[in-house]
Structure 1
């Protein structure tokens, strides 16, 4: 049996949490196990209870300071590499070390290289730039040095999008080792016969699932749904998730006179998301026109697996996954009028919505499941004779 050490040393990604990042960790582990691998988890944040089907996964907690001055927290994260290395040595042998890249972690890839086993590093974002812009970064030079070290030590670098692949290409020695593997979905979580969690109340529901962050374009969504509501008063917006933008969204809805047509559910556990999606008639990913769009949006794949017609911004990876008019409707980023028009189309033409939803689910089931993702990772790592589950060509080139 293939033994995999899965590492997540980012305190901002609680491995048993509710965010998209946490779900990503859980689904990759779940898919590795479904393919017959034995997975041990090494994590900085594993405080919550695991999902029942992952309760048997051994978890090795590696403490990292989460309070105090930022510089002290950065030093604590670097020092945690000693504890991570010791934990890996105690639990070896492994056939593969698979790590979700975090700013200060390098012990996993160094351990894999020195042990002569495969080390695969999954890079989800240009973390140095992101940390500096949104949270603050004291030792940027140290973060750059560790990034070069860990990128150089890995056998394979998994980039979730072409923008991340381009970012990795800025580092010496990465050429030829970067593979683009987008996010995936577990179709079994989003069964078409799932019972809706919300009463229909004779309303046609537009939905969003995700954290309420500025880069998700939620102001555009509220504006678009207010326009839709003017034409079709029997519509509502259901926003599933929480975050710093929630007060602003509530205030915007009040200013536009649509508070009664906007439901903000707050954070919900992952097992409640399928029922909430089943309560929606269409789902939206209204990203603004960001200068660098590096996301592989998990919400897109979940909307599609739920059989929903999707309205999304034509930006980054999204047009590679959603073919306009075939799997969903694409709009210019940040264009509330275009989003409203697309939603009106779907409201007024139920057959169009049904056709797009069926095609969307069939597309992700064929090409974008977590089992596809895990099979490809194991094939690239060369740890066993797993098939190379090919993804669409435009999603693989780096």
Structure 2
């Protein structure tokens, strides 16, 4: 019997999407689930074919250097109308897609059972490969490119609708099954004229080979001298929409009453200097740990030492995504605090699965932190419910099996 495999396509180069590592993490998570189901899976990009364990570490970069803005480059950009810059980026992205991808030149002796592709403004070879192997094409949609860009203020005054129809909608209509991370995104996809019969919601899950309740972070505790401390932790990119300053301000409201509490912020980004200045202003240098960016494969060890794990957002407006870090926290058996935003109040029970705070309300966030610092029974209940969630539905393999059942693929 031939070995079976699945192809997972990310229509970018392995060096791209810096600052958006979640895209790579999601794709490698789906692929790792495929590897678990069929003992084989590959992740293909514009510049190569990789194992899921390799793609976890994308984008390939020069290491963990702090991200700092280039002032000369920023000043030059200010002189150029923004829509010219956007048009150039679109043109460059379109031309970055090879006519023939590396995987199309690679011989594959295994039986391909599924082709999965991450949605992008310009798609990859998903439909061609699915036709070649006579298998279904699944498209995973974490965001619609033109629509999401408009939400962030990116304007395409003459060509946005044309790009959406000519490339995004066309690719979606060619797919056999479309997996959206949220109901809001599903509704938007359907509003573009895509058949609702082939659109489902697959919220973000985790790679269970990395994130699970049995991860041990003793080495992290020793390295940062955290024995006897209660760690309130957050992981992500230092970008405005996360409202990291709200986390620091909330911690500032409660830290004097809880001398054992430490705030640990893991990541990097263009707001790092702003956050460093705020920490200094509030005289929290000895209570807040900034670790910088860490390898994704080492993140589970950091999460494992959290007593309280935070998801944050500056505002609930336009909150259409499915926070990956929330699932990673829960999979590691943590008590989580998250914003009352998007679908989170529908998906998770406040006080049972996690604690919700009013998005943008610093005092309410501080209140939830203090609640978990003082109520050991509540913290334990949330931790146990996180572990139960992980076992029942928290891993990518749960979603991949559901996809296979819908498409009648043997697994």
- Contact 2:11 2:97 survives alignment (8 Å): no
Structure 1: how far apart are the matches of 2:103 and 2:96? 11
Aligned residue number for residue 129 of structure 1: 147
Structure 2: how far apart are the matches of 1:148 and 1:106? 14
1:97 aligns with 2:118: no
1:356 aligns with 2:372: no
1:165 aligns with 2:179: no
Please point out which of 248, 256, 259 is paired with 2:282: 256
Aligned residue number for residue 73 of structure 2: none
Aligned residue number for residue 53 of structure 2: 54
Superposition map of 1:1-398 within 5 A: 1-11=3-13, 14=16, 19-36=21-38, 38-44=40-46, 54=53, 71-81=87-97, 83-84=99-100, 87-88=103-104, 91=107, 94-105=112-123, 107-109=125-127, 112=130, 116-132=134-150, 134=152, 136=154, 139-144=159-164, 145-189=166-210, 190-192=212-214, 194-196=216-218, 197-198=220-221, 199-382=225-408, 384-386=409-411
Aligned pairs, how many? 374
Structure 2: how far apart are the matches of 1:213 and 1:180? 27
Closer, same or farther in 2 for the Cα pair 1:320/1:102, shift >3 Å? same
Structure 2: how far apart are the matches of 1:41 and 1:202? 42
Closer, same or farther in 2 for the Cα pair 1:337/1:55, shift >3 Å? closer
Structure 2: how far apart are the matches of 1:289 and 1:85? 40
329-338 or 253-262: bigger deviation: 253-262
Partner-residue secondary structure (3-state), 1:259: coil
Partner-residue secondary structure (3-state), 2:140: strand
Shift of the alpha carbon at 1:95?
Answer: 3.5
Runs of 4+ in structure 1 deviating by more than 6 angstroms, as ranges, are 15-18
Q: Deviations over 1:7-57 (max 9, x none)?
A: 11135985999922222121111110100153233213669xx78x73599
- TM-score, length-normalised on structure 2? 0.81
- Contact 1:17 1:23 survives alignment (8 Å): no
10-19 or 352-361: bigger deviation: 10-19
Q: Deviations over 1:329-372 (max 9, x none)?
A: 11111111111111111111222212211111111221121110
- Contact 1:163 1:293 survives alignment (8 Å): no
- Contact 1:8 1:15 survives alignment (8 Å): no
Structure 1: how far apart are the matches of 2:55 and 2:228? 43
Shift of the alpha carbon at 1:288?
Answer: 2.8
Structure 1: how far apart are the matches of 2:262 and 2:361? 19
Structure 2: how far apart are the matches of 1:86 and 1:44? 7
Partner-residue secondary structure (3-state), 1:97: strand
- Structure 1 segments unaligned to the other structure (5+ residues): 60-67, 387-398
- Contact 1:9 1:43 survives alignment (8 Å): yes
Please report the RMSD computed on the Cα atoms of aligned residues, expressed in angstroms: 3.2
Shift of the alpha carbon at 1:310?
Answer: 0.6
268-277 or 18-27: bigger deviation: 18-27
Partner-residue secondary structure (3-state), 1:194: coil
Shift of the alpha carbon at 1:239?
Answer: 0.6
Shift of the alpha carbon at 1:250?
Answer: 1.4
- Contact 1:85 1:108 survives alignment (8 Å): no
- Contact 1:3 1:38 survives alignment (8 Å): yes
Partner-residue secondary structure (3-state), 2:410: coil
